[in-house]
Structure 1
Amino acid sequence: MSHSSHSSPLAPDLIARFAAIVGKANCIFDPEQLRTYECDALTSFRARPGLVVLPGSAAEVVDVVRLARDAGLPIVPRGAGTGLSGGALPHPAGILLGLSRMRRILAIDFDNQWMRVEPGVVNLEISKRLASHGYYYAPDPSSQQVCTIGGNVAENSGGAHCLKYGFTTNHVLGAKVVLADGNVVELGGPVLDPLGYDLRGALVGSEGTLGVVVEVVLRILRKPEATRTFFATFPSTDEAGAAVSLIIAAGIVPAAIEMMDRLAIVAIKAATGVDWPDVGAALLMDVDGTIAEVEHTAAEATRFAKQAGALEVRLPRDAAERETMWRGRKSAFAAMGRISPNYVVQDGVIPRSEIAPVLREIERLASDAGLRIANVFHAGDGNLHPLVLYDAAVPGQEELAERTAGEILKVCVRTGGSITGEHGVGADKAPYMADMFSDADLATMNMVRCAFDPESRMNPGKVFPTPRLCGDRPGKYVPHATETAGLAGRG
């Protein structure tokens, strides 16, 4: 999927016009520098962009999009490049629109609990900025130290605490968006329930296919009075899964409840030095709220964990130890580098009641493929993150790992789940959309995209399993006679 070239496929005079908008330093066309932008965090998908443009303001985004429209060029918006589904995979003959320079916090309204930010603001920086006032921003992806709000909006990012507080879509009140024709629209605003169609709901999670987000209005929350954390170890994922079911069935809604299997624990220990024992599985759980509430729910959750067969339940001695526990969990993906040269991370969802049988099926798939699979996931909402470990130096292993990861997604769908919980569809999961949705479903989704982008120029080739143009009729694609004769092709 790699694209190599000695120079940009765009004409020099056109490149000069983009440079005139954003400045020469922010217009990248040197082949070696373009390599930086060939992929997001899913490095097995690569394509060299035709041109990288880094605007510094909403006005510059408008001018770039209008020039791209006039030139008939596709546009791929990009945040920090931390996505894990190939959502920011460039178009070889298009514009990669990087929004990392747009990182201003524009307004904060503590009385009404909202703030307005540009898309390049880093997720964790928001909570740091709000901390002294007793507020924070709830969605906390594992990459929150580097991922940006624009990318979070595109992918509807979640994180460990989405069980209680919801995903990005639950915290976006409004957005300013530059459409494919260069027009600017405002969807929603600084209110919880604006009038009219919920177009902000359509925008969040649309993976850059509807437009370029240039401002976001976010909901901010008061910090809870207290948080209690526990770390419980188990002989296997069966007992850990049973503990999750008991806790949730009792009506307890943890702020977060994360599970790691033995292989994940081995990697995390190697990478971070946490003093976790060698066990079959572990749960890391937060409960928050008023002091009386958290003391009660933490005690109940501990009781259920022991009832399910916990070997040990640890409570952090202080805030520093709690932070260490969570740093261990959030470093899980990166930690795989300590035990494997390469890995593919997947992101499927299953009903909580299916955790144990699905993990056994994943173990069978690993055995059949002769590969190791580590499991880290948001156990409370059944969001799995299986990490298929492989060695790219061994011929055929990368393709085998990717096929095995795809089989895991099919298992998720068969058990009543989904092919993605928070990483998005992008280029990686597009082939599996048809396992979950009918032709009519996909055609309806495409109609929404076409309402925003009739020429399908925004992030083309993502989400949909086959190229879909806005003139396509719903249902299976039937080639036109000119295509059959070799006189024409689809974009």
Structure 2
Amino acid sequence: MPNARLRERLIEALGSEAVKTAPEDLAVYAFDAYTDGGTPAAVVLPQTTRDVSAIVKIARDCGDPIVARGAGTGLCGGAVPIVGGVILSFARMNRVLQLDERNRRIYVQPGVINLDVSRRAATSGLFYAPDPSSQPISTIGGNIATNAGGAHCFAYGTTVNHVLALEVVDACGEVFETSTEHAGYDLTAALVGSEGTLGIVTAAWLRLLAFPESVRVALAAFDDIEAASSAVSAIVSAGLRPTALEMMDAVITRAVEAAFHAGYPTEAAALLLVENAGFEEDVAASEAAIHSIVMQHEARSWKSARDRAERDALWAGRKGAAGATGRIAPNYYTQDVCVPRSKLPDALRAVEAAAGANGITVGNVFHAGDGNLHPLLMYDKRDLRQVAAVIETGNEILQCAIDLGGTISGEHGIGWEKREAMTRVYSTADLATMARVRDVFDPRRMLNPEKIFPSGARCPEVAAQ
């Protein structure tokens, strides 16, 4: 049997303790945080780059695909083994290899948890800026694969802006390195966001930032979510650049307050969380200007955190928004789209209409500063009718974003979930060009197959299986 040969060779190379083949072990890796799954032939847990190289060479010889996996927090099926093959889990490649304080950078393995990077850097007065909501559990490797962002990407940029260099194993099992600090093709930028289809990242140098002198967090409450959205556009149009502009609607606010007691006013239709960081004089001036703008846009209240404890409480509510929806329904499905800031009111109306038409409860929590919406569609996965309604609602939200001049993903990636939607935003020529780039790195399509590109049935001109 082909799978038996694969397993035997993997065990011979890495030892039985590093290779999982029992059905109960494989089932653990059949899913990520998306709804669909698949069963791998084997799960392998390497500890070194040399191990990864050996795994890739064996899988290539056996003709089996490889799916690299971090913590399995991805929301688009990017780490799901759709066609079986080998799951390469980075659970044991989770070490910080070097902290370079003088040059404000840190060298890590891909299985390191995002928040642990900042915790380690904090000992030197530094931090790592990308902070997705899954920060306490998602890995750097996964963040690199999807070009993850977070609440602070409005000011600091997404993952690609903070990766300095990569160590990568290619589809033949050979190791190469990339760097943003040398002339030539910027392969680092090409690999960040490629979802493991161009190579497997085994180590990364990350840029660190110094803690700001001052941080202020405030909460503005509105009786109308469109007024709150308009205030966001006015803040940015005024040339102000807070480090975060996050918004929550009433559905999310009530769930969060019940769960975290963050001090959110539950009678408000929308909340705008504003953070300013930098030199104290600049922070004070920016907060005062933003306060003035939100009050001009009919905010009902404004609360500025008085100390670190209050700041942390306000942020804890926002960071825990998704989990708090468990008080409303047993399951939720997160969509991820971007629209121009000026179109936020239109997008929110469309989201509400789509959810209402399909009988789905929706809560909106999102990165308002850059127009990155994350509608949370709440349902019970045991009810197949609700599952179908959620999928249809998500599909309508994607189309709404496109119609408003936006795009189908802000930071979650494309993965398995959105690959067919790529034909809505890219021409056949666009997709064919991307496919040719992929073929340079992985002509046999062994690395994370069936991801990003549409199937041949939906885009016959692009052989992007």
Name the SS for the 1:182 alignment partner: coil
Q: How many Å apart are 1:265 and its aligned residue?
A: 0.8
1:170 aligns with 2:161: yes
Q: Mean alpha-carbon deviation: is it higher for 412-421 or for 270-279?
A: 270-279
Residue 246 (structure 1) aligned with residue 222 (structure 2)? no
Match of 1:224 among 204, 209, 212: 212
Partner of 1:356: 345
Shift of 1:445: 0.7
Whether 1:477 aligns to 2:461 is: yes
Which consecutive aligned stretches of 4+ in structure 1 deviate over 4 angstroms post-superposition?
A: none
- One of 11, 25, 30 as aligned partner of 1:38: 30
Unaligned runs of 5+ in 1: 1-8, 469-474, 480-489
1:15 aligns with 2:7: yes
Q: Hey, what's the Cα distance between the residues in 2 that align with 1:266 and 1:47? A: 36
Map Cα deviations across residues 172-204 of structure 1 (whole Å, 9 max, x no partner): 011010001011110116x3xx20011111100
Q: Give the TM-score normalised by the residue count of structure 1.
A: 0.92
* Pair 1:200-2:188 in alignment: yes
Tell me if the contact between 2:2 and 2:62 (Cα under 8 Å) persists in the aligned partners. no
Question: How many Å apart are 1:115 and its aligned residue?
Answer: 1.6
CA deviations on 1:415-434 (whole Å, 9 max, x unpaired) are 11110000000001112111
Question: Using the alignment, how far apart are the partners of 2:134 and 2:379 within structure 1?
Answer: 22
Residue 393, structure 1, aligned to residue 391, structure 2 = no
CA distance in 1, matches of 2:6, 2:402: 46
Counterparts of residues 272-291 of structure 1 (less than 5 Å)? 272-278=260-266, 279-291=268-280
SS of the counterpart of 1:426? coil
Query: 1:216–1:243: structure 2 CA closer, same or farther, 3 Å change rule?
Result: same
Give the Å deviation of 1:395.
3.6
Residue aligned with 2:123, SS: helix
SS in 2 for 1:311: strand
C-alpha distance in 2, partners of 1:160/1:395? 33
Q: What's the offset of the Cα at 1:162?
A: 0.0
Q: Distance in 2 between matches of 1:478 and 1:264?
A: 41
Residue deviations 1:217-269 (CA, integer Å, cap 9, x gap): 11111111111110111002111111111111111111110000111112212
Distance in 2, Cα, partners of 1:46 & 1:103: 25
Cα 1:449–1:235 shift into 2, 3 Å: same
Give 1:104's aligned residue.
95
Aligned-pair distance for 1:92? 4.3
Residue of structure 2 in register with 1:461 after alignment: 450
Distance 2:300 2:163 in 1: 41
Cα deviation digits, residues 295-350 of structure 1 (max 9, x gap): 10011111111111111111112111111111110111111111112221100000
Query: Which of 1, 16, 25 pairs up with 1:24?
Result: 16
**Which of 36, 40, 59 is equivalent to 1:49?**
40
Indicate the residue corresponding to 2:333 in structure 1: 344
Decide which of 348, 352, 368 is 1:379's aligned counterpart: 368
Work out whether residues 163 and 255 of structure 1, in 8 Å CA contact, stay in contact via their aligned partners in 2.
Answer: yes
Pairing partner for 2:78 from 80, 87, 92:
87
Amino acid at match of 2:148: S
Matches of 1:265 and 1:229, distance apart in 2: 17
- In 1, distance between residues paired with 2:196 and 2:3? 25
SS of alignment partner, residue 388 of structure 1: strand
Contact persistence 2:33–2:74 (CA under 8 A): yes
Partner-residue secondary structure (3-state), 1:396 = helix
Cα RMSD (Å) of the superposition?
A: 1.6
Aligned residue identity for 1:403: E
Measured after TM superposition, the shift of residue 91 of structure 1 is 3.7
- 1:328 paired residue number: 317
| CA–CA distance in structure 2, aligned partners of residues 274 and 369 of structure 1 | 32
> Quick one: structure 1 residues 18 and 277, their matched pair in 2 at CA, closer, same or farther if it must change by over 3 Å?
same
Q: State the AA in 2 paired with 1:388.
A: L
Residue of structure 1 equivalent to 2:303: 314
Deviation string, structure 1 residues 56-94 (Cα, Å, up to 9, x no partner): 110100011111111111000000111111000114430
Equivalent position SS for 1:65: helix
Deviation of residue 13 (structure 1)?
A: 4.3
Q: Could you state the TM-score of these two structures normalised by the residue count of structure 2?
A: 0.97
In structure 2, the partner of 1:5 is: none
Letter in structure 2 aligned against 1:34: L
Among 56, 61, 67, the alignment partner of 1:65 is 56
How much does 1:110 deviate? 1.9
Query: What SS does the aligned partner of 1:89 have?
Result: coil
How many Å separate the matches in 1 of 2:413 and 2:270?
Answer: 27
Kindly state the Cα deviation for residue 100 of structure 1 after the two structures are TM-superposed: 1.6
* 2:199 aligned with 1:211: yes
Q: Distance in 2 between matches of 1:11 and 1:211?
A: 23
Aligned-pair CA distance for 1:391: 2.2
User: Higher mean Cα deviation, 353-362 or 108-117?
Assistant: 108-117
Query: Aligned equivalents of 2:420 and 2:348: distance in 1?
Result: 23
Q: Which amino acid aligns with 1:106?
A: L
Q: Is the 8 A contact 1:139 1:166 kept in 2?
A: yes
Shift of 1:132: 2.2
Counterpart contact for 2:37–2:82, Cα < 8 Å:
no
- Structure 1 contact 252–297 (Cα < 8 Å) conserved: yes
The amino acid across from 2:94 in the alignment is: R
How much does 1:10 deviate?
4.9
